[in-house]
């Protein structure tokens, strides 16, 4: 759908009994930036998200590949926020205090976590050494693995860095999950995806319909998982399973504002 056409879809979605609005962050609520921790939501998207989060029977969630601690920083997310969080592609969850008490603590096999974390530390250190002399390429340590960033690298250097790290992970951790994005390759020993994050959020919030918006390859897992009565939104170019496409985060802010208006009325 083009910009004028999504208004009809928004009007229909706004009538659902309990609505879940799940949003990727980087490239969706905020433009992509060279410094990942300096990224912030556009004022227009932040305002629309705030309005939606205050509406009855309306749940807002950020669903991101960022680890939870970083997502809370860039999302200006406080302990009293009503916005749910799914970080590390759904491997980490944060629930608002008002609902968190209703969920049992999750059991974690700590021995497995410690073993995987130790192996991951050694692997990440070796990946850092591999790309240390490649200008513009750097490794971001994450909760369940790491990411290779090449946004600032020349194309040939980016390709070389990716090849070196791919070989390393294939040899040392062949069962890790590999994800590609815009100038980034992520490697993780947890295999959750944004599709499983949406399914979990839908179940826990009791949503009768879902809007999910994202801009990258990793968001397509979630977009493909949506039901016919849900609404997927692709931000920017690229092949997509979404029913709706918007040009950029600013147009997404327009869509979210229109949804808040329709839902409030």
pLDDT per position as a tens digit, 11-41? 999 999 999 999 999 999 999 988 889 999 9
pLDDT per position as a tens digit, 190-238? 888 999 999 999 999 999 999 999 999 999 999 999 999 999 999 999 9
Whether 100 is covered by a domain: the verdict is no
pTM of the model: 0.82
Whether 133 is covered by a domain: the verdict is yes
pLDDT per position as a tens digit, 81-106? 999 999 999 999 999 988 877 776 66
Whether 98 is covered by a domain: the verdict is no
Is the same domain home to 178 and 200?
no
Domain boundary (171, 188, 205) is at: 188
Determine the average pLDDT of the residues in 155-174.
Answer: 96
Structural domain including 153 reads 110-188
Residue 123: count other Cβ atoms within 10 Å of its Cβ.
21
Which residues, in sequence order, are CB contacts of 253 under 8 Å at separation 6+? 42, 44, 45, 47, 48
For the beta sheet containing 177-181, the strands, ordered from the edge strand earlier in sequence to the opposite edge, are: 138-142, 145-149, 184-188, 177-181
CATH number of the structural domain spanning residue 234: 3.40.50.1000
pLDDT at 153 over 50: yes
Whether 32 is covered by a domain: the verdict is yes
Whether 85 is covered by a domain: the verdict is yes
CATH number of the structural domain spanning residue 170: 3.30.70
């Amino acid at each position: 759908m083009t910009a004028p056409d999504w208004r009809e879809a928004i009007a229909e979605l706004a009538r659902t009994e309990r609505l879940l609005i799940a949003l990727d962050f980087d490239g969706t609520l905020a433009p992509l930036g060279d410094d990942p921790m300096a990224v912030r939501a556009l004022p227009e998207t932040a305002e629309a998200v705030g309005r939606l989060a205050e509406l009855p029977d309306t749940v807002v969630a950020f669903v991101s590949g960022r680890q939870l601690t970083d997502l809370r920083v860039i999302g200006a997310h406080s302990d009293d926020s009503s916005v749910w969080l799914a970080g590390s592609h759904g491997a980490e969850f944060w629930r608002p205090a008002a609902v968190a008490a209703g969920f049992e603590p999750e059991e974690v096999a700590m021995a497995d976590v410690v073993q995987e974390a130790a192996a991951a530390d050694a692997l990440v250190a070796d990946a850092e050494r591999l790309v240390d002399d490649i200008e513009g390429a750097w490794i971001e340590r994450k909760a369940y693995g790491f990411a290779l960033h090449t946004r600032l690298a020349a194309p040939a250097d980016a390709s070389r860095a990716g090849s070196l790290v791919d070989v390393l992970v294939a040899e040392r951790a062949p069962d890790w999950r590999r994800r590609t994005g815009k100038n980034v390759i992520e490697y993780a020993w947890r295999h959750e995806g944004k599709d499983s994050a949406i399914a979990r959020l839908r179940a826990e919030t009791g949503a009768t319909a879902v809007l999910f918006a994202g801009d990258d390859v990793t968001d397509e897992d979630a977009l493909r998982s949506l039901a016919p009565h849900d609404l997927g939104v692709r931000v920017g170019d690229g092949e997509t399973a979404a029913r709706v496409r918007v040009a950029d985060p600013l147009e997404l802010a327009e869509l979210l504002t229109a949804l808040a208006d329709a839902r409030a009325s």
